Amino acid sequence: MSLSNNDYQDIMRQYEERRLSNYRLYEQRKKDIYTTIPEIKELDRQITANSISLGKQLIVRDDPALREEYRIKNQVLISQKQALLKEAGYSSDYLEPIYHCKKCKDTGYIGQEQCSCFHQAMIDHLYSGSNMAKILARENFQTFREDYYSDQMTKQGLPSPRRNIQKVVEHCKTFISRFPNHDNILFQGSTGVGKTFLSHCIAKEIMDRGFTCVYMTAFQLFDTLAKHTFGKGKDTEQETSANLIFQCDLLIIDDLGTEMINKFVISQLFQCLNERLIQERSTIISTNLSLQEFRNTYSERIFSRISSSYSMLRLTGDDIRIQKKLWQKIYGDDIRFKKSNLT
């Protein structure tokens, strides 16, 4: 999930195209307004003349009183201009410069720092290459179905998988409604019980609300960190990709425990989780490991961070992937049939 030089240039070209498109729209608006409301053209001429006059006088002497005098003059002219626009049925800011992101004015940077819109642009770019957008369109709360989970109570007397998943989904929706709230989630359970699906559900909701979200498998996470740590030469794009892991509003690590475990992986995992806890940024982890296996696989420090700072949500039930294949084989894609029809 690293960002290549070509990827970086593609994103910067998108910003350039956006600025050019908005400038053309702005110039067309101004041309149309000057034709229909010529008084506004004269007001703009006066505003420009005042600004030039002030600039010339400030070269000789910086006078705060003079600045305030011209500010008041131009504000009167601007108010007149806005009143004319409203009378003609336009919004008062119709002739203001047009930006998709007003924070960075569509440059991607605020000073030397990358804007949050640039971070999301990188994430979107990476997702487009990984087919993530299509996955989130397919796997979300609107397509989530409880009837894949049995309503039979377990032999141990625990709640049925269906009742359990209802509580888990309720917790997930609370997590979303409170976001950003610095909460964290550990999804735990066997293969195919819906951990990844629920992670996708949360990711879509968070991204739809305008927050930055990075979704990575455990392999992708450690591969990105390894390339950043051991790569020849630290280029900007490589560093940015690694920084997204620490700076995004929500980080989702899927299938933790399937990667090759070594000292580097353990140290990087601790650094990642600990740094995000310090920065109060939320993280979601899914794993097939039991709590004991998790403790034995990773360090005590990592398990301590997880157990004290994460909501542990265990998913139970049969492998949904197998159920779907069986269901589709018997009934096709007709969702009117209930899972109980299979028994």
Per-residue pLDDT tens for 164-194?
999 999 999 999 999 988 899 999 999 999 9
Helix (H, G, I), strand (E, B) or coil at 109: strand
Give me the mean pLDDT over the 27-50 stretch. 94
Question: pTM of the prediction?
Answer: 0.66
Planar angle of CA 240, 182, 294, nearest 5 degrees: 85
CB 64 within 8 Å of CB 78:
no
**Which residue carries 């998790």 as its tokens?**
294
Per-residue pLDDT tens for 137-152?
889 999 998 888 988 8
CA 326 to chain centre: 35
**pLDDT class of 298 with cuts at 50, 70, 90:** very high
CB 245 within 8 Å of CB 251:
yes
Q: Does the structure show a pLDDT above 60 at 285? A: yes
pLDDT value of residue 153: 78
> How far is CA 209 from each of CA 116, 168, 180, 203, 249, rounded to the nearest angstrom?
13, 21, 11, 10, 11
- What secondary structure letter does DSSP report for 319? -
Give me the mean pLDDT over the 216-234 stretch. 81
% of the chain surpassing 90 pLDDT: 58
Lowest mean pLDDT, pick from 35-49, 95-109, 303-317, 319-333: 319-333
Q: Does the structure show a pLDDT above 80 at 232? A: no
pLDDT value of residue 252: 95
Write the single-letter amino acid at 276.
Answer: R
Write the single-letter amino acid at 129.
Answer: G
Q: Does the structure show a pLDDT above 80 at 290? A: yes
**pLDDT class of 238 with cuts at 50, 70, 90:** low
To the nearest whole number, what is the mean pLDDT of the chain? 86
Tokens at 308, concatenated: 């004290």
CB 287 within 8 Å of CB 125:
no
For the chain, which residues make up each domain, given as ranges? 5-110, 131-331
pLDDT value of residue 130: 57
What is d(CA 266, CA 281) in angstroms, rounded to the nearest whole number?
A: 20
131-331 fold: Rossmann fold (3.40.50)
Give me the mean pLDDT over the 278-287 stretch. 96
